[in-house]
């Protein structure tokens, strides 16, 4: 039985990488996908391709750092499809640099996108899920939310540790209401994240690392589908996935 079919799944950061791969896979499995990202042209192209393959998709321009945008994304999903079964808080940025470089503006942006974006998504979707006693919130952390790498990833790790804490607290709070919470901790996965560093030294190191280790975005999409397709009384709370040869 395909338990993904007919579910309404909202995905942030859906214009590329993990979000795009997840949208394509879930739509192929029969889900109705609502695509959120800032680049509306890419979202509309993806939605059109999904529709051409017999799927159902809605594109909504969304900046996850804006609470109003996140509320609009969820309300657009409800208006179009009548409900939201799953929220995938995928949008994130990774501008790596040593703390001594004092990239304070980038610290602020990571906090806005990686932490506030997740919280705004939860705030937008949780009331409806509590009311229906049904739903699934999937948050993308990182292996950097489990360990801190020396030198360039401290603030990024801090934001991803925050996602871990938010997810675990939410899980403990809402599980009794029939709401499932899943946190994913991916390692080096092909995406645009690796292009986010303005610091030349960190950017070169990260690109070299990803060239040596990265696996396809489909690997994360399959893990998300696995979590969603479980029976309603089963919650896959955490999934860590890395390239087989990646140590960190």
Q: Which helix (H) or strand (E) holds 43?
A: helix 40-52
CA distance 235 to 175: 9
- A 10 A CB-CB count for 100 gives 7
CA distance 55 to 26: 9
Which residues does residue 59 pair with via DSSP β-bridges, in sequence order?
35
CA distance 154 to 148: 6
CA 40 to chain centre: 17
Distances in whole angstroms, Cα of residue 224 to Cα of each of 18, 103, 228, 244: 10, 33, 6, 19
CA distance 101 to 83: 45
Which residue in 120, 156, 185, 210 is the catalytic one? Answer: 156
- Please say if 156 is a catalytic residue: yes
Q: Nearest to residue 139, comparing CAs of 246, 211, 45, 223? A: 223
DSSP notation for 122-159: HHHHHHHHHHHT-EEEEEE--GGGT---TTT-HHHHHH
CA distance 219 to 225: 10
Q: Which helix (H) or strand (E) holds 109?
A: helix 104-110
- Supply the residues annotated as catalytic: 156
């Amino acid at each position: 039985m395909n338990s993904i079919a007919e579910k309404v799944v909202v995905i942030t950061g859906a214009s590329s990488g993990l979000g795009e791969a997840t949208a394509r896979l879930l739509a192929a499995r029969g889900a109705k996908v609502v695509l959120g990202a800032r680049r509306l042209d890419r979202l509309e192209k993806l939605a059109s391709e999904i529709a051409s393959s017999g799927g159902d998709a809605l594109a909504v321009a969304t900046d996850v750092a804006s609470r109003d945008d996140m509320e609009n994304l969820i309300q657009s999903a409800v208006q179009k499809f009548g409900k939201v079964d799953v929220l995938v808080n995928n949008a994130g940025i990774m501008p790596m640099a040593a703390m001594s470089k004092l990239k304070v503006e980038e610290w602020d942006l990571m906090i806005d996108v990686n932490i506030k974006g997740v919280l705004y998504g939860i705030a937008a979707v949780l009331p409806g899920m509590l009311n229906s006693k049904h739903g699934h919130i999937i948050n993308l952390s990182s292996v950097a939310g489990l360990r801190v790498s020396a030198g360039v990833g401290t603030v990024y790790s801090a934001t991803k540790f925050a996602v871990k804490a938010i997810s675990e607290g939410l899980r403990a709070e809402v599980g009794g209401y029939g709401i499932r919470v899943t946190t994913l901790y991916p390692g080096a996965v092909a995406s645009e994240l690796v292009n986010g560093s303005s610091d030349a030294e960190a950017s070169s190191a990260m690109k070299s690392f990803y060239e040596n280790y990265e696996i396809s975005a489909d690997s994360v999409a399959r893990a998300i589908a696995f979590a969603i397709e479980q029976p309603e009384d089963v919650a896959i709370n955490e999934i860590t996935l890395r390239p087989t040869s990646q140590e960190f």
